[in-house]
Amino acid sequence: MDGATITFRISNEARLEHNFYIGPPDALAANQTSGLVGVPTNTEGVQEFQYTVTPETASLQFACTVPGHYPLMNGTFVLQ
């Protein structure tokens, strides 16, 4: 998967604020999204973004970084 470009399609149909970011677990847990790839808070409709896989990012952490959301809205996916 090294060098592959993945397209993410994110849809927030909830009535609550949400976002979606990919990055290092420590940055996501601290709500530090500067420089991270993702969808900002309060984005309506379906949003798309692309992410290029590198050897360092083959195992990715994703999360909603709205204050209080991270503990239940985070996870890891592995690209193979």
What dihedral do alpha carbons 75, 76, 77, 79 form, nearest 10°? Answer: 160
The amino acid occupying position 64 is C
State the Cα–Cα distance between residues 48 and 45, nearest whole angstrom.
Answer: 10
- Is the model's pTM score more than 0.75? yes
CATH class, range 5-78 = mainly beta
Q: Divide the 80 residues of the chain into consecutive groups of 10 and give the mean pLDDT of each group.
A: 84 90 92 93 87 77 94 88
| Separation of alpha carbons 67 and 9, rounded Å | 23
- Look at residue 68 in the predicted model and tell me its pLDDT: 93
pLDDT at residue 7 in the model:
93
Q: Look at residue 2 in the predicted model and tell me its pLDDT.
A: 64
Distance separating alpha carbons of residues 56 and 38, to the nearest angstrom: 18
Q: What is the pLDDT, as a whole number, of residue 77?
A: 83
Q: Where are the domains of the chain?
A: 5-78
